[in-house]
Every structure is written in structure tokens, then in C-alpha cells.
A = this chain, B = another copy of it.
Amino acid sequence: MNAWKEYQEQHKERFLNELLDLLRIPSVSARSEHKGDMIKCAEAVRDSLLAAGATGATIYETPGHPIVYGELITDPSKPTVLVYGHYDVQPPDPLELWHSGPFDPVIKDGKIFARGACDDKGQFYMHVKAMETMVQSGELPTNMKFLIEGEEEVGSPNLANFVKANKALLDADVILISDTAMISMDTPSIDIGVRGLSYIEVEVTGPNRDLHSGVYGGAVANPITILAQMIASLHDENNHITIPGFYDDVAEVTPEERQLMAEAPYDESEYMADLGVKSLWGEKGYTTNERTGIRPTLELNGIWGGYTGEGAKTVLPSKAFAKISCRLVPDQQSDKITKLLIDHLHKIAPDYISLKAELHHGGEPYMTPIDSDGYKAAARAIEETFGKKPIPVRGGGSIPISALFEKELGLKIVFMGFGLDSDNLHSPNEKYDLVNYYKGIETIPYFHKFFAEGI
């Protein structure tokens, strides 16, 4: 134990600088112009695994962005931990709101500012450095496998096929993922659930060309107005989602679990002050933690149509667009919800316009049993380094591939995340606190130790 900590103290600066190098690669999976950066980033991940002591590391091509696989197998009798993470990042837009370049990482007030600092380069790289620590200290309680993909932020369209085709390669005893957050460094927590996702794009077409709003306005349906009316109708006055059947498969959460959730630290006025809002919005009958944890949601991620430039243009546009995503909870199924959503949009679309609605990507919700060996090892590892038992919480985000991992590989997943909700994931000025980065690297070896010991 002391050997781990000692090694980490000696190599602290290099552990940081290596991460900064990785953050400098603009590996934006959603944008085709970054295809070359994706390859460059995959190569950097492979090289980092080899440098950290992996006995093998390979880049697997896919129809999309490459997958990096690496392993350190020292003793077949030891348990094997499969670490999953992703080297791709969200687009950095809107660029003008960043205080420094999204791919030009800076350290300020003890925090690393860069796109991907937390989600997920900073988090998966902790495992690479934890492996190096265990190797160099000669204390490696487990075998390790790494599956680091490049398409998590676009819904992992090629990972399922890879997993199905490589079950033996990925065979392990548990899957460990650091891609979620803790309540705070003072209140460590472990996500026991991630929500599923149905992400669609909608195109509303009115007239076959942009029109002069004076000559035609008032006589031809404006696709922006119609799209707005359709969007407005998706929530009722209690902010329930109005799609018929949407809630049918939502598993009831017991009053006891809701009671437990209510005991997690939450200060509403602090929450509102942090977001700069005067009041909170959400589904009637549920608390903020419930709204983001145990309830499904429907959010508008983007909208556009007509003239959006400087000044004024009196146009009645031909088209309007929206990106809409639903977060799903057990036992909702992504395919089913996507179909309900798209069918409902077609049903409410008036015949003034024509509608195209297509799936971007989806993923199933997933729950980790708190009595599983993986969960117990993570809880004990966190207690070891934080000095406090972590609280199990339901996270609001999605890791679309989770359910598939369990189904195909028969493994339970542990979400041992070291981020914070305030890390600006998917937003300008994404950050990751240095203390969280180092604490993660310190904690991970204990997971391996306790998991190998059978807790």
C-alpha cells in the first residue's frame, strides 16, 4: 500500500502531463473533420497502455472510429477486471464561452480545464496510471483488460458488434467504469444506475422553399411555429410527458428507496444559485434528485430553422429542425420508447407540414446491484482512501453500452466515478479537479485488491 502511494507521489507531475497531452488531441467523434484526430488519439491510448505495462495493446478498426484494447495478464488464476472508458469527447461548442481553448488544457485553481478533462479522458486515464502504479510497485492483485472506445458520445454504434464478436477476448469477472460523478469529495458516492437514452432528430418541412414572410405569411404553415406547437405539446401542465405509453414500463421505486434518496445531501437554494435560476422546473410529484435519477425525461438538445444570423430577415422558412432526447429508467427499453416517440410525433404532425423523425442513437438503462462483489469492492476502496462509506445514488446520465455488456458478457458493472456534477460535462469550460484525478489513481488499486480478496 505504501509502495503504491509512494510511487504515485514520485510521478505525480508526469501523470498530469501525460493526461494534458491526451487532452490536446481534439477527438470529437461527432464531427467528421476530426477523423484523423480520432486515429491519432487511439494510437496515443494504445501507446499509453503499453508504456504503463500492458502485455498487449491493439487498435481495432470499426466502420466508425477505432476501438483500443489492451491487457495485462500475469496469472490466469487471478480475477480479471475489464476497464471500459472512452477517448472521444463531446463537441466543444459554443466555443465563444470557453475561457481557454477546449483543446489547450490549462491548470487554474487546482483544476484542469479542457474538453474531456473529466468526460472521459481524465477518468479512464486514472486506470492507466493505477495499472502502472501496481506494476511498478510489484503489487498487482488482478489481471487487467482495457476496452477504450471512440464513439461513446455518439451512442457507441459499433461497440455492440465488437463485443459480440470478441467475447473470449473480453472475458473477465467484473467491468469497472469511471465515467460518472460523486456528490462531492466530502460526500463520496457511487452511481448504481445510469439512464437509458433515445436520441432523435426531427425535420419539419412546410413550403418547398423559403418564402417572403409578407407575401405568404398568414396563409402557409410556418414550420417553426408548427414545430414549436408540437414540442410544446410533449409536456402537460404538470410536466409529465404526454406520449401515450411512455411511462408504461417505468419500474415503481419503493417508498423506502425514495426515503433513502431524500437523505442524500441536497441544498435547493445552493443548487439554484449554482445554475443561476430563480425556480426549478420538473415533473410534479417528484424531488430534484428523483427527477434526474428515477424518472424518465424528454429534453430538447437543439433547435434551428429560418434566419439565425445578424439583423433581420423577413423569411417564412421551408424547414425547421430539432434534436430531442429521452433519458430512460428501468424497465423502459430504448427501441420501444424511440418508436413511441417517433410514432407520436407523426400522429400529432398536422397535414400542413411533412415530418421526418429519425433515431440518432439509443441505449438501455442499467442498475448495479449493491450486493454484488464489484459494488462492495468499490465501496470499500472508497472508504479506504476517503475515510467515509460512499452513498449509493442513481445517476442521471447514460452509458449506452452498459446493458449490452451485461447481456453479452454476463458481467456486472461498477460505476466508480470521481467526477463532480459541477465539472461542466458537455458544456464550455469542462474541468476536472487535480485532487479528484489523484484521488482516483490512489483509490483504484484498492478496488483491485479488495475485489481479488473476494471483499
Q: How far is the CB of A334 from chain B (nearest CB, A)?
A: 14
Q: Is the CB of B207 within 8 A of A195?
A: no
Pick from B31, B361, B424: contact of A309, CB below 8 A: B31
Q: Is the CB of A181 within 8 A of B215?
A: yes
A307 to B257, CA, bound (A): 35
Q: Is the CB of B311 within 8 A of A303?
A: no
Q: How far is the CB of A324 from chain B (nearest CB, A)?
A: 9
Q: Is the CB of B300 within 8 A of A224?
A: yes
Q: Is the CB of B219 within 8 A of A280?
A: yes
Contacting residues, chain B, for A374 (C-beta < 8 A): none
A305 to B217, CA, bound (A): 23
A218 to B195, CA, bound (A): 12
**A221 proximal to B (CB < 8 A):** yes
**A97 proximal to B (CB < 8 A):** yes
Contacting residues, chain B, for A316 (C-beta < 8 A): 299, 301
Q: Which candidate, A160-168, A226-234, A242-250, is the interface stretch facing chain B?
A: A226-234
A219 to B153, CA, bound (A): 22
**A392 proximal to B (CB < 8 A):** no
Contacting residues, chain B, for A225 (C-beta < 8 A): 231-232, 235, 299-300
A310 to B218, CA, bound (A): 32
Q: Is the CB of B427 within 8 A of A315?
A: yes
Q: Is the CB of B352 within 8 A of A213?
A: no
Nearest-CB residue, chain B, relative to A226: B281
Contacting residues, chain B, for A210 (C-beta < 8 A): 94, 97, 424, 426-428
Q: Is the CB of A313 within 8 A of B218?
A: no
Pick from B217, B229, B277, B280: contact of A292, CB below 8 A: B217
Give the residues from 3 to 53 in chain A that come closer than 8 angstroms, CB to CB, to chain B: 29-32
Q: Is the CB of B314 within 8 A of A352?
A: no
Known contacts A309-B93, A312-B323; decide if A220 and B303 are in contact (CB<8 Å).
Answer: no
A215 to B394, CA, bound (A): 10
Contacting residues, chain B, for A317 (C-beta < 8 A): 301-302
- Taken together, the copies of this chain in the complex come to 2
Nearest-CB residue, chain B, relative to A353: B277
Q: How far is the CB of A30 from chain B (nearest CB, A)?
A: 3
**A397 proximal to B (CB < 8 A):** yes
Q: How far is the CB of A222 from chain B (nearest CB, A)?
A: 5
Contacting residues, chain B, for A311 (C-beta < 8 A): 29-31, 91, 154, 360
**A81 proximal to B (CB < 8 A):** no
**A371 proximal to B (CB < 8 A):** no
**A356 proximal to B (CB < 8 A):** no
**A60 proximal to B (CB < 8 A):** no
Pick from B181, B197, B222: contact of A299, CB below 8 A: B222
Q: Is the CB of A425 within 8 A of B218?
A: no
Q: Is the CB of A219 within 8 A of B279?
A: no
Give the residues from 390 to 443 in chain A that come closer than 8 angstroms, CB to CB, to chain B: 395-398, 421, 424-429
**A308 proximal to B (CB < 8 A):** yes
**A447 proximal to B (CB < 8 A):** no
Give the residues from 356 to 376 in chain A that come closer than 8 angstroms, CB to CB, to chain B: 360-361
- Which 7 A-B residue pairings sit nearest by Cβ, starting from the closest? A208-B276, A30-B311, A214-B397, A218-B297, A221-B281, A302-B306, A232-B232
